[in-house]
Amino acid sequence: MSAGSESDASKLGAEEALPRRFGKYTLLRRMATGGMAEIFLALQRSVAGFEKLIVIKRILPAMNQDRGFIDMLLHEARVAATLSHPNIVQTIDVGQVDGTYFIALEHVHGEDLRSIVRQMKKKAVTEFPLEHALAVILGMCAGLSYAHERRDLDGTPLNIVHRDVSPQNVIVGFAGDVKVVDFGVAKSGTQSAEETKSGQLKGKIPYMSPEQARGEEVDHRSDIFALGVMLFELTTGRRLFKGANDLETLKLIVDRDYPRPSWVAGGYPLALESIVMRALEKDVQKRYQSAREMQADLEAFVRDEKLPVSSIALAEFMKLLFEEKLAAQKEALMQGRQLADIIATEIQHGERTETGIDALRQSNTVTGASGAVALGSTPPPRASGKLALIAVPLGLLAVGGALFLALRSKPEPAAATASQAAVEASATKAKATLVVESDPSGAHIWLNGEMRAEVTPAKFEDLPVGTIDVKVGQDGYESLLDKVTLSEREVTKRNFTLKKGVVTYELSGYPANATAQLDNKPAKLPKIEAAPGEPHVLSLVASGYELKVLKLATAPVGESMKLDGTMKKTSAAEPNAATTAATTAAGGTGKIIVIAGGGGWCNASVDGRSLGPTPTGAVDVSAGPHSVSCTDANGARQSQGASVKAGDTTRVRFTIAN
């Protein structure tokens, strides 16, 4: 048994005093405890003064004999160990100390998204800056794309699916880095059928894809749906799926139509809305087929809108939000290291004076923004719900912010009294009741931009007194919005009469081989029907012509508008009508590869969707005509048409001069 280790594994539990040695590591502070594992901030030391903060996930003694759980833990380590990417937390080590299994992971000095949003509320920051929201999602896209495409040494796809993409599992570092964490419920192609069988809900319900919510088998496109949910929420400031209970939330995901971001956030960019809604497609075939594809569209949006997306700016935003926590955390870590130094010295001299160390633990307290906390104290175990699943999420274990959550100071009595008074005052605040009805019934309801699980007629109790935005809408009907004033102890009723009908857009002047998409969904020319009261994006694609995109403003029910569909020709020859008709009729999908010759390079796009710099990889597209464009470093743009046959790969070449 190594020096400094406990001789009795049963002593490893909630009652142990910290810091203490754990094999070659020193456990500094317990960060979180779940029903099956616990998370520690730890110190790794080696020769020549090498010193590094890491995170240890250690199985609880009660679970140490559970072979199934240990197998799961080791699978988690195997999956995570294959991943080495700047946007994914790195697994450092896996092993046993005194028969207790553990995983060692990279320590990220930062906060998870859930904590960031909470801190924003405390600081009265009402909106998540768009450029920072996009920086976070772009980082997640990059990390997940890497994981999804990962192969083993033989070149066999690992088919890794995270299955729990959510705010708790993305960390924003104080250096502006973005990390995806917690592959603890990840699925990979190396698992047994028993480990991956469908019918088991794994992950957090509000971020589940429809297929995941139904308990069906999922692939990487389920993670893309979760990215869409997070992008919606970060850019609108509203929850997308929030029912009265888990069952109602599942129904919202599986059965209901999803609101558009522009419904809940005025002035929402239509190009960004198009990306969000494609990521949120219920049909996995219509959804983004890869995280890389979604990342490319977001990068194109950032370029087009000239948004200042920057890791440096994101780092400054984080430091401003958490300046008080950073100061307290620095002091806590310094005092934790002092104890670790004493332990290391005693081990070096073969001594172990627990009395002296315990006295120092008790005397060493950390004063933070709200008070003090003893480093040796232990937080109460965290309750684990059904969907917490097998273990404490790795999302907590790699987070410097989670460290502060464990180290943060207890409120002083005066602060506690004030907090209690605020809670009591909130409990006695005046409440109101609202009844929402519609003709016809069964319409969706939004209260202050938040889509509710209920449909009309519905009754809402315990609402705050004051003015509230009430919106109702239903497919095939015009959406209506009203400001309603609620009074104390009164039942306020609102009845909405919905007008049935659509808005009609009639196009002329377009090429004979043109096809149309309305909000990224196929539309039939020349007359296109759309939902009234909402903005839309109409795209025209024709081989031999440049892509045409029309941004359509909101229009009332019954409105008929004429649009010019004239498209600009490219230099490429248009395929003959027979070829185009045969390809379109065949259906299916093919691939496009864009290449640049002449010694230069360009940023490629297909049908307005960015593919990044040339040469591109093979990109899946529907069979039929497409518009391909390339923009060189000087901003010069070339376009040409391409006809893709089902099952074939079409190569499109541009000549770019140096």
The residues assigned a catalytic role are 164
The structure tokens listed for 69 are 């759980």
For residue 617, which phi and psi values (nearest 5 degrees)?
-80, 180
Query: Can the peptide bond before residue 157 be classed as cis, meaning omega within 30 degrees of 0?
Result: no
Residues 60 and 102 sit within 8 Å (Cβ to Cβ): no
Alpha helices in 353-412 (DSSP H): 354-363, 394-397, 400-407
- CA torsion sign, 454 to 459 to 460 to 462? negative
Nearest residue to 393 (alpha-carbon basis) of 200, 182, 187: 182
How far apart CA 280 and CA 253 sit, in angstroms, is: 10
Query: Which residues make beta-bridge pairs with 439?
Result: 497
Residue the block writes with tokens 């299916």: 588
How far apart CA 30 and CA 108 sit, in angstroms, is: 16
How far apart CA 490 and CA 486 sit, in angstroms, is: 8
Residues 313 and 307 sit within 8 Å (Cβ to Cβ): no
* Residue 79 φ/ψ region, left for φ over 0, alpha for ψ in the -120 to 50 degree band, beta for the rest: alpha
For residue 46, which phi and psi values (nearest 5 degrees)?
-145, -160
Residue the block writes with tokens 């306020």: 492
List, in sequence order, every beta strand (DSSP E) within 509-636. Answer: 515-518, 521-523, 527-530, 536-541, 548-552, 560-564, 589-597, 602-606, 609-613, 619-622, 624-632
Q: Is 512 helix (H, G, I), strand (E, B) or coil?
A: coil
Query: Residue 342: which residues within 8 A CB-CB, separation 6 or more?
Result: 356, 357, 360
Residues 65 and 100 sit within 8 Å (Cβ to Cβ): no
List, in sequence order, every beta strand (DSSP E) within 480-553. Answer: 480-486, 491-497, 503-508, 515-518, 521-523, 527-530, 536-541, 548-552
Q: Kindly report the number of other CB atoms within 10 A of residue 480's CB atom.
A: 17
Q: How far is CA 115 from the centre of its chain?
A: 14
Residue the block writes with tokens 């093979």: 618
How far apart CA 493 and CA 486 sit, in angstroms, is: 10
The structure tokens listed for 526 are 């020349």
* Cα distance between the two ends of the chain: 66
Element of type H or E holding 144: helix 130-148
How far apart CA 610 and CA 604 sit, in angstroms, is: 6
How far apart CA 461 and CA 447 sit, in angstroms, is: 12
> b/e string for 351-388 if b means 16 or more Cβ within 10 A?
eeeeeebeeebeebbbebeebebebbebbeeeeeeeeb
How far apart CA 528 and CA 534 sit, in angstroms, is: 14
Query: Which residues make beta-bridge pairs with 68?
Result: none
